[in-house]
Amino acid sequence: MLKAANLDKAYGSQVLFREVSFNVNRRERIGLVGRNGHGKTTLFRLILGLEEPDAGTVTVPKHYTLGHVEQEVNFSRPTVRQEACVALKGGAEGEAWRAEKILLGLGFSTADLDRDPRELSGGYQVRLNLAKVLAAEPDCLLLDEPTNYLDIVSIRWLSRFLREWKGELLLITHDRSFMDGVTTHTLAIHRRKVRKFTGGTAKAYEQIAQEEETHEKTRLNDEKKRKQEELYIRRFRAKARLAGLVQSRIKMLARRDKLEKLESLEDLEFAFSAAPFEAKRMGEVRDLAFSYDRRAPWLIPGLSFALGPRERLCIVGKNGRGKSTLLKLLAGRLRPSEGSVAYHPSLRVGYLGQTPEHELHPERTVAEELMAAAPGCTLDRARDLAGALMFSGDMALRKTARLSGGEKSRVLMGKILLTPCHLLLLDEPTNHLDMESCDALLAAVDAFEGSVIMVTHNEMFLHALATRLIVFDRGRAFEYHGTYQRFLDELGWEGDEGLDRSPAPPSPTPPGERQEAKRARARLLQERSRALRPLEEEAARLEAAITALEGEQAANDEALVRASTDGDAPAIASLARRQREIPPLLDGLYGRLDTVTRDLEARAAEFARRLQEP
């Protein structure tokens, strides 16, 4: 059993977690979740011994092996097959078939097995490193975003492989459906603590949300009672007949622990803006063909389809088959070799590619980049939008050259948001996003009134959104009319024959209903945030006003004592008049705070009830 006890880790002033303790028990497959930058990968590095904790220990049993995917390329054998076989336990001769099976499952072709591994693309070199870890069969497997370089067919194969894994597993991935289809437990890094839950991510997030609602409700009630006690003490401190009662309340208040307000956590919160579109057809693709080299076979061999309003068209298939190229052709970034892409003359298109750095000026700040996207965009509006995209405060003034890949994608998404459009072209939009941000993106795409064409390997998005597919499989590209689940049931992926059609374990709830529930929950969480935030801000303003008025009252008390000592009659009269005015003002503020607090509690309770509904 792997054990972490009282781990602390910080980088300068940034504290990732404090006093973190958990166990990884026999045969547990654990999904590690948390927001980007909150320490998931760091926790992996602590377990692997690649970094030292500031405090606490990680205990690994003797002879217990840990496996993880090396990012460095260090190949020593002349072929892919031989390189993978190096990882077999004890160099098991005669079991090369096991390594070959893993390689083929991860998307290598039979011809690839005899290639020099140093000739592979970067993505396939990472796949080879992943194959070596799986072939080594460590006691505990640690996988950090293993689906990043995989296509949809390889992801489905890996999901089945991990469900049959005999050892322990720790998994980081932004793909909720992949994680829930593989894991038995969820380990959540939240507010610098770690909590372990039995079951999938939905149960973990729901319990955390309920606990935080209870904490905030208790805090508001406690704060209200505390202020009432403090007001009582100030009013009657000087009354001799009430001195004992006042002292009793002072002692009680000192003994009572004060609950701290939970710090605000940034969520990606936005909505795509759709421009009105009255025509029945947005555009048409006719006999579209493309090749980067006219001497080579067509990458896209003659594809035709029409596009109407409110479409959700998903482009799916293995890597390297032309999905992103097709999206670039539809966006006008490439010219067709043959055929045509024709749009309605008034159609406005928003395009989000996989390489946002090519779309951004490195010397502009986030706010400047957003302002450049729309001539009428003011600095205040750009800062507001930057905040919704999780660039709050000075982050909006950071130059785009200093941003991570995920941050650049969010800036490019902001530029699209500033210009209402009819058609969104999205290429792997979940790349670099954490699980919460993926949920927000899913809700935003679902709510968009225009049409969407999306390249994605995320099966949760495919089940939830796709009404039609462009499929790259079986050596061709073709249009499929129907949902993703229907495609799996009727055709399935090449190589999936005889295997289960869904990466998730059997469930009494149909996949479509599961995804609809996830979409509804994502929308409800957004609605909750929008509804509660004004009330929380109003409560904070009232609390600040009460604090300021109470400070003035205390300062006036001291000034009144000084004026009395000095015999300053005008000052005494002025201060005494103000001291008579303050209590009614405080009573009014407390009354308003009480009303806002009751409203906030009622709305929070209503959303808690709705979130618990099936």
What CATH number did the domain enclosing 69 receive? 3.40.50.300
pLDDT tens for each residue of 191-243: 889 999 999 998 888 888 888 888 888 888 888 888 877 877 777 777 666 67
Instruction: Give helix 435-447 / helix 511-566 axis angle, nearest 10°.
Output: 110
pLDDT tens for each residue of 106-133: 999 899 999 999 998 888 999 999 999 9
Does residue 517 lie in a domain region?
A: no
* Boundaries of domain holding 148: 2-199
Run of H or E residues at 425: strand 423-427
Whether residues 129 and 215 share a domain: the answer is: no
Residue 530 reports pLDDT greater than 80? no
* Number of folded domains that form the chain: 3
d(CA 290, CA 339): 9
Place of tokens 């220990």: 57
Mean pLDDT of 382-392: 82
The reported pTM is 0.71
Whether residues 294 and 403 share a domain: the answer is: yes
Take residue 532 and report the two structure tokens written for it: 């509660």
Does residue 253 lie in a domain region?
A: yes
Whether residues 48 and 8 share a domain: the answer is: yes
Helix, strand, or coil (residue 357): helix
Does residue 512 lie in a domain region?
A: no
Looking at 476-555, which runs of residues are DSSP E strands?
476-481
Mean pLDDT of 578-586: 82
Whether residues 33 and 159 share a domain: the answer is: yes
Whether residues 79 and 188 share a domain: the answer is: yes
Residue 498 reports pLDDT greater than 60? no
Helical segments of 293-374, H only? 323-331, 366-373
Q: Are 174 and 32 in contact (CB under 8 A)?
A: no
Q: Which residue has the higher pLDDT, 240 or 140?
A: 140
Q: Are 187 and 30 in contact (CB under 8 A)?
A: yes
Looking at 46-99, which runs of residues are DSSP E strands?
55-59, 66-68
Confidence band for 507, pLDDT divided at 50, 70 and 90: very low
Place of tokens 């939008």: 385
